Amino acid sequence: MVKMVADGDCLFHALAHGHKRTMEDENGARPLPADLGQALRREVTSFLTAHAFEQGDFAESWLEEAEHLERGSEEAWAGNNSIVAFSLMKKCRVHVHTRLPDGSIVAIDSTHRDLQNLADLPTVHVFYNGQDHYDALVQAEDVALLVPAWKDQTWPVRYWRLPNELPPLELDDALPPIKKPRSVESVTALELPDSGDDILDEVCKTVVTPASTHPHRQMEDAVTKLATTRLRDHPTLPPLALPEEVDAGEAWPHAFCAFSGCLWTARKGTEDDLLQHLHEQHGADLDPLASLLWNGHHDKRDLLSVYNAALSVKCGKKITGEEFLQGSTELREHLQRGKYVDITGAQKSVQGDFSKVQH
């Protein structure tokens, strides 16, 4: 055992010392001076942050460990995630020998899961006193000189005590593989669309049913046909008015009809006047569409709802269910009674939020 200074970075001192000795034993290199525990802390912190999202279910704990280490050695000590990250970063095994309260020693493999089944990896051994300090463990050159570190010291449970010598720290057999948790690599990455593709082009490729018997589709088709075949090109202008006259300051009538060929206007007319005109002069065009609202049972004001929907289509506005239902006396009556309304005619009495109207 090699004692490490208790400065808050004892784990990193122990890891650095063990890794240095391992590298020297293998190839004589000295890549990691043992007295640079603070430098190793910073290196492990950066590695935790950079590779957290490659750890699957452990990503959050790696980020928390990195944030913890950034507080400095005086406020934060490293934990097991730092040991595992060090193992992956240096491509080595790490065995932590922990002293338990009863004096026994347990050797725990803290090697990263991606390295578990790899052979011929160097192994770094550290000793944890079970409370607040780490020291380095190195291979003894002369086992005859070994003495217990404390009175009544027991042998690690992973090793067998031999009569005349302490077995080497290196394990002959590879440890059994650890069950690998779900990782980012196991989740199929989402394929992002090509930046050159136009979303509208993709939408246009969607297969649309050419015809439908659904009441909504029938209404939309009928309103679209009414707007394109029966209304003027400029339905928001009075009859005979020209677009260039919009800013002329001329006082236009309050109410007028948008049907092609119809010259009806009312200088001070109201919505009721327009509704009466539509009922008398254009009922043949509007009645069939209004009947689709309530399966044939409609109010006179439904003519105005259909008329306004056709105006919206003519002006290039998308049709909405509210435009079909706006102004319907029957709809208002059902809402006042606390009923949901279905345009197919089925009505279901319930209590609750009256804003949930089925269109």
Go through the domains of the chain in sequence order and give each one's CATH number: 10-186 (3.90.70), 200-242+250-349 (no CATH)
Taking only Cα atoms into account, the Rg of the chain, rounded to an integer number of angstroms, comes to: 41
pLDDT of residue 355: 42
Q: What is the mean pLDDT of the chain?
A: 72
Mean pLDDT computed over 66-80: 77
- How sure is the predictor about 12, in pLDDT bands with cuts at 50, 70 and 90? confident
CA-based diameter of the chain, in Å?
Answer: 119
Mean pLDDT computed over 130-137: 85
Measured on CA atoms in the order 108, 115, 44, 46, is the torsion positive or negative?
Answer: negative
pLDDT of residue 176: 56
Q: How far apart are CA 79 and CA 208, in angstroms?
A: 59
Assessment of whether the complete model's pTM goes beyond 0.75: no
CB 76 within 8 A of CB 45: no
- How sure is the predictor about 325, in pLDDT bands with cuts at 50, 70 and 90? very low
Mean pLDDT computed over 210-231: 78
Residue 186, pLDDT > 60, answer no
Share above pLDDT 90 across residues of the chain, in percent, rounded to a whole number: 3
pLDDT of residue 259: 93
Q: How far apart are CA 24 and CA 255, in angstroms?
A: 97
